[in-house]
């Protein structure tokens, strides 16, 4: 089997990244199939890897927001360029991640270890050489959608806009900061936003000259900003308030515009329901329970709901969805068949999976049943859908769940009582009211990607007047 032409592709991607007005890095997945097609290379040599749809989809959201703002942009994930001899680290990390994601006891053990000792990701050694090579000659501030990518590049002295993708502060985000030197970097601790960052008059930024290796943080909301500043203080790290900018979550512009044309949940049936898994396929037993309980509402005789089932890149999800359709005599339609009783989205590429979610699920769904992960919850609400939350997988997902329930746009859903909960929410008009609130969400929940681009632009103008 031939080897991936790493030097050729990496050199071309490196040039695109250093020429881009908005360079973007992340750690999410490989998408070598697309790179091979783009650069007209021989057939692929390795299977693809996927760690997180969220870290890809949010990075792509920022890239598209840059294009919408008439700025050139390029996105890279160093996972694509890992040396063949190091690819085993990628596969091992993916396998262990899926194993822990699908076995509650193993995840509990991992969580306890993480609270005791913060360590680098197992793939850090593998992704560091290609990431440093890709960013070596980049001079503009780099937008990072994963703390590990941002930390590696910050250590090399590059200016970084580090995006906290969730309303949750991982201490690893603060690792690159220098130790606190009292009196030299006082915080403006009133929690106010530095509004000058969002003005277009470059003359107002003379006081914003920054060291070469500086980091600015783009965070979910004001509460996350306060949490980040408090965490920095507790860890003895130097971080001033004006380096933490509230932008909101990075939402794909294609998703953000959907609420404007959203059709309301109608009095007549069926209701359009999407059910989704995450990047690691964490919740197959829970989704099985949901579908089993909802089955009476899906039968051709009752047809209270139509289904769109997102399997991501996970064959076991696709196989179960197909078996479920056969067992309940449901016709599986093509992705563009909006009248089908059931559709299944499965891809072998994270790029295709992400694009098809945006093209087919979010414009169509009234309700999306999902764990409260950043990508699905943010996109569902921003699109004007009602998220019904399955069990969260960690503290960050609990924070997401709490925020959207408090906003009144989402609800918890018990997997084994899905039929009862769904029919109650529908019959009491709760779904309709929540959809109205989702359609009218504050701009914070739709404009994050464009705010991140504006922040990066202001910082870039200091370095490239």
pLDDT per residue as tens digits for the range 311-352: 988 899 999 999 999 999 999 999 999 989 999 999 988 889
pLDDT per residue as tens digits for the range 303-318: 789 999 999 888 999 9
Q: How confident is the model at residue 130 (pLDDT cuts 50, 70, 90)?
A: very high
Q: Average pLDDT of the chain?
A: 84
pLDDT per residue as tens digits for the range 73-87: 999 999 888 887 777
Asked whether residue 410 is assigned to any structural domain, the reply reads yes
Same domain, 216 and 303: no
Asked whether residue 403 is assigned to any structural domain, the reply reads yes
Same domain, 159 and 105: yes
pLDDT per residue as tens digits for the range 340-396: 999 999 998 888 999 999 999 999 999 999 999 877 999 999 999 999 999 998 888
Same domain, 64 and 148: yes
CATH value at residue 280: 3.40.50.2000
Same domain, 247 and 287: no
pLDDT of residue 44: 58
Same domain, 388 and 271: yes
For the whole model, what pTM was predicted?
0.87
Same domain, 427 and 300: yes
Same domain, 77 and 43: yes
| Arithmetic mean of pLDDT, 34-57 | 79
Q: Count the domains in the chain.
A: 2
Same domain, 339 and 456: no
Is the confidence at residue 99, as pLDDT, over 60?
A: no
pLDDT of residue 212: 38
Same domain, 429 and 454: no
Asked whether residue 36 is assigned to any structural domain, the reply reads yes
| Arithmetic mean of pLDDT, 198-214 | 39
Between CA 188 and CA 185 the distance in angstroms is 10
Same domain, 211 and 87: yes
pLDDT-wise least confident of 184-193, 288-297, 302-311: 184-193
| Arithmetic mean of pLDDT, 417-435 | 94
Is the confidence at residue 96, as pLDDT, over 50?
A: yes
Asked whether residue 162 is assigned to any structural domain, the reply reads yes
Asked whether residue 189 is assigned to any structural domain, the reply reads yes
Asked whether residue 1 is assigned to any structural domain, the reply reads no
Asked whether residue 311 is assigned to any structural domain, the reply reads yes
Is the confidence at residue 203, as pLDDT, over 60?
A: no
Q: How confident is the model at residue 6 (pLDDT cuts 50, 70, 90)?
A: low
Residue 181, classified by CB atoms within 10 Å of its CB into exposed (0-12), middle (13-18) or buried (19+), is exposed
Same domain, 105 and 190: yes
Same domain, 185 and 270: no
Three-state SS annotation for the chain: CCCCCHHHHHHHHHHHHHHCCEEEECCCECCHHHHHHHCCCCCCCCCCCECCHHHHHHHHHHHHHHHHCCCCEEEECHHHHCCHHHHHHHHHHHHHHHHHHCCHHHHHHHHHHHHHCCCCCCCHHHHHHHHHHHHCCCCCCEEECCHHHHHHHHHCCCCEEEECCCCCCCHHHHCCCCECCCCCCCCCCCCCCCHHHHCCCHHHHHHHCCCCCCEEEEECCHHHHHHHHHHHHHCCECCCHHHEEECCCCCCHHHHCHHHHCCCCCCCCCEEEEEECCCCCCCHHHHHHHHHHHHHHHCCCCCCEEEEEEEECCHHHHHHHHHHHHHCCCCEECCCCCCCCEEEEECCCHHHHHHHHHHHHCCCCCEEEECCCHHHHHHHHHCCCEEEECCCCCHHHHHHHHHHHHCCCCEECCHHHHHHHHHHHHHCCHHHHHHHHHHCCCHHHCCHHHHHHHHHHHHHHHHCC
Is the confidence at residue 115, as pLDDT, over 60?
A: no
Q: Which domain holds residue 356?
A: 255-445
Asked whether residue 185 is assigned to any structural domain, the reply reads yes
Q: How confident is the model at residue 187 (pLDDT cuts 50, 70, 90)?
A: very low
| Arithmetic mean of pLDDT, 212-227 | 89
Is the confidence at residue 106, as pLDDT, over 60?
A: no
Q: How confident is the model at residue 133 (pLDDT cuts 50, 70, 90)?
A: very high
Q: Which range has highest mean pLDDT (121-125, 148-152, 264-268)?
A: 148-152
pLDDT more than 90, % of the chain: 61
pLDDT of residue 91: 65
| Arithmetic mean of pLDDT, 214-242 | 95
| Arithmetic mean of pLDDT, 405-416 | 95
Q: How confident is the model at residue 45 (pLDDT cuts 50, 70, 90)?
A: low
């Amino acid at each position: 089997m031939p080897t991936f032409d790493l030097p050729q592709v990496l050199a071309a991607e490196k040039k695109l990244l250093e020429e881009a007005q908005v360079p973007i890095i992340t750690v999410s997945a490989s998408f070598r199939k697309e790179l091979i097609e783009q650069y007209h290379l021989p057939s692929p040599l390795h299977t693809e890897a996927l760690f997180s749809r969220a870290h890809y989809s949010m990075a792509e959201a920022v890239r598209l927001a840059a294009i919408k703002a008439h700025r050139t942009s390029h996105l890279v994930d160093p996972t694509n360029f890992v040396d063949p001899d190091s690819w085993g680290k990628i596969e091992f990390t993916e396998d262990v991640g899926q194993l822990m994601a699908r076995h509650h006891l193993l995840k509990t053990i991992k969580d306890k270890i993480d609270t005791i000792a913060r360590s680098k990701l197992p793939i850090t050694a593998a992704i560091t050489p290609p990431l440093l090579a890709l960013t070596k000659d980049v001079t503009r501030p780099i937008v990072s959608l994963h703390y590990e990518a941002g930390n590696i590049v910050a250590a090399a002295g590059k200016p970084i806009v580090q995006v906290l993708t969730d309303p949750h502060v991982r201490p690893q985000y603060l690792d690159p900061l220098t130790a606190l030197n009292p009196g030299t970097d006082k915080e403006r601790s009133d929690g106010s936003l530095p509004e000058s960052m969002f003005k277009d008059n470059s003359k107002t930024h003379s006081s914003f000259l920054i060291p070469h290796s500086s980091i600015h943080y783009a965070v979910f909301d004001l509460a996350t900003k306060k949490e980040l500043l408090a965490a920095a203080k507790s860890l003895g790290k130097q971080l001033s308030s004006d380096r933490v900018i509230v932008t909101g979550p990075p939402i794909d512009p294609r998703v953000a515009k959907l609420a404007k044309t959203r059709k309301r949940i109608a009095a007549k049936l069926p209701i359009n329901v999407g059910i989704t898994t995450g990047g690691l396929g964490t919740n197959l037993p829970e989704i099985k329970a949901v579908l089993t309980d909802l089955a009476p509402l899906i039968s051709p005789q009752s047809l209270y709901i139509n289904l769109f089932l997102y399997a991501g890149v996970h064959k076991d999800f696709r196989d179960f969805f197909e078996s479920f359709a056969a067992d309940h005599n449901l016709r599986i339609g093509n992705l563009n068949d909006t009248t089908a009783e059931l559709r299944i989205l499965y891809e072998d590429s994270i790029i295709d999976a992400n694009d098809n979610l945006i093209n087919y699920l979010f414009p169509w769904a009234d309700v999306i049943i999902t764990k409260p992960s950043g990508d699905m919850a943010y996109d569902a609400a921003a699109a004007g859908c009602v998220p019904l939350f399955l069990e969260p997988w960690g503290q960050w997902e609990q924070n997401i769940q709490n925020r959207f329930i408090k906003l009144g746009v989402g609800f918890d859903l018990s997997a084994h009582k899905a039929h009862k909960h769904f029919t109650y929410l529908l019959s009491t008009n709760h779904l309709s009211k929540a959809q109205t609130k989702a359609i009218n969400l504050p701009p914070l929940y739709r404009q994050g990607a464009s705010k991140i681009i504006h922040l990066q632009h202001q910082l870039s103008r200091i370095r490239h007047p």
